[in-house]
Amino acid sequence: MARVVVDVMLKPEILDPQGQAVQRALPRLGFEGIADVRQGKRFELEVEGPVDDAALARINELAETFLANTVIEDFTVRVEELEEETATA
Amino acid sequence: MTARIGVVTFPGSLDDKDALRAVRIAGAEPVSLWHRDTSLHQVDAIVLPGGFSYGDYLRCGAIARFSPVMQTILEQARAGMPVLGICNGFQVLCESHLLPGALTRNDHMHFVCRDQKLRVENADTAWTVDYSAGQEITVPLKNGEGGYVADERTLDELEAEGRVVFRYLDGNPNGSRRDIAGITNAAGNVVGLMPHPEHAVESLTGPTTEGLGFFTSAITTLKKMVHA
């Protein structure tokens, strides 16, 4: 089985109060030098069958219609090499 | 003939009972609709109530948008049926692209719960004809993700076409662009807002009864549609 990862992030121009709250907490915890934090979502899809162009096109469609709201969010789709595969490769 | 107004219950809806009650107090016949229904049971108008449909998983309203009942509502809304989305219902309407823009987390991160003063900017929609333009009303507001956002071009279009229906007065409670509390589609039959008119229909339980006009407006609109 192949894994496809969809990352969803708020568009740069959309305010991210959650990311801001995380960023503001950092100095209190002793972590200095982080100028900005933006928080997003990561989806890991375990795909049955080959991840060919047709499968990726379907996943792009599902990301665009469902996983992300493209009014306020951007998304990326990438195929992830699974660890056991890379170990045997 | 008494108008039949349906209220959809999704798993996680909270304000469906109050919406049904508001419909009844306004003088229409309330009809409960279930999220798995594909039939709208001959209702003349629809209310999508507040709450946390499907646990607000993924995004508020994102999963409700794909429920069976919404597929029929989308068709009917495009054909002119009056549809009102309150709070989570507004989020469902934006996720469905029946209304432009989106609702995001309140800029101050806090859940807000208070009586909110609004100005009715457009008294020509299916849900506001019983108000007058410029009228000020106070109804409860309660949300964590109520910040209305859209790109500048969309906001300019909404303003130019008179599609901003309600604006927050006396302070913006959630960071909404241009103090927008509610909007309508181009035809004026679909209206969405974050505040809760269904909680302001009886003096015993509401801060005012100024929310009742939403539901009487729908009845007025439906009467006009029948005679048109």
pLDDT in tens, B53-99: 999 999 999 999 999 999 999 999 999 999 999 999 999 999 999 99
Pick B105's closest partner by Cβ from A18, A69, A71: A18
Name every chain A residue with its beta carbon within 8 A of the beta carbon of B104: 10, 14-15, 72
Residue A1: predicted pLDDT: 80
Q: Which of B95, B121, B198, B210 is catalytic?
A: B198
Mind listing the pLDDT tens digit for each residue in B113-146? 999 999 999 999 999 999 999 999 999 999 999 9
Selection from A88, A14, A3, A56 nearest residue B151 by Cα: A14
Mind listing the pLDDT tens digit for each residue in B18-43? 999 999 999 999 999 999 999 999 99
CA distances from B123 to A68, B88, B147, B167, B197 (A): 34, 23, 23, 13, 15
Q: Is the Cβ–Cβ distance between B66 and B26 less than 8 Å?
A: no
SS3 B157: helix
Q: Provide the domain count of chain B.
A: 1
Residue B21: predicted pLDDT: 98
Distance CA B119, CA B99 (A): 20
Domains of chain A: 2-14+40-88 (3.30.1280.10)
The answer, yes or no, to whether residue B106 has pLDDT greater than 90, is yes
Cβ distance of A71 and B100 shorter than 8 Å:
yes
Q: Which of B35, B87, B95, B210 is catalytic?
A: B87
- Here the CATH number for the domain that contains residue B194 is 3.40.50.880
CA distances from B7 to A2, A37, B108 (A): 43, 40, 31
Selection from B27, B52, B13, B5 nearest residue B201 by Cα: B27
Name every chain A residue with its beta carbon within 8 A of the beta carbon of B102: 69, 71-72
B contact test, residue of A23, A24, A38, A72 with most B CBs within 10 A: A72
Cβ distance of B109 and A15 shorter than 8 Å:
no
Residue B166: predicted pLDDT: 98
Name every chain A residue with its beta carbon within 8 A of the beta carbon of B150: 71
B156 HSE (CA, 13 A, CB side): 3
Q: What is the mean pLDDT of residues B218-224?
A: 97
Question: If you measure CA to CA, which chain A residue comes closest to B103?
Answer: A72
Name every chain B residue with its beta carbon within 8 A of the beta carbon of A38: none
Residue B75: predicted pLDDT: 98
Supply the range of the domain harboring residue B79: 4-227
Q: Which of B95, B196, B199, B210 is catalytic?
A: B196
Check if B87 is active-site. yes
Q: What is the mean pLDDT of chain B?
A: 97
Q: Is the Cβ–Cβ distance between B112 and B143 less than 8 Å?
A: yes
Residue A85: predicted pLDDT: 52
Mind listing the pLDDT tens digit for each residue in B150-187? 999 999 999 999 999 999 999 999 999 999 999 999 99
SS3 A26: coil
CA distances from B49 to A76, B10, B60, B116, B199 (A): 33, 9, 13, 18, 11
Residue A89: predicted pLDDT: 43
In DSSP terms, which residues pair with A42 in a beta bridge? A7
- pLDDT class of B211 with cuts at 50, 70, 90: very high
Query: B104 and chain A: CB distance < 8 Å anywhere?
Result: yes
Q: Residue-wise pLDDT tens for chain A (89 aa)?
A: 899 999 999 999 999 999 999 999 999 999 999 999 999 999 999 999 999 999 999 999 999 999 999 999 999 999 997 665 554 44
Contacts of B215 (CB under 8 A, 6+ apart): B5, B22, B23, B25, B26, B28, B197, B198, B201
Maximal CA-CA distance, chain B: 48
Question: If you measure CA to CA, which chain A residue comes closest to B107?
Answer: A17
ipTM of this complex prediction, to 2 decimal places: 0.86
Check if B136 is active-site. no
Q: Is the Cβ–Cβ distance between B213 and B146 less than 8 Å?
A: no
Residue B227: predicted pLDDT: 77
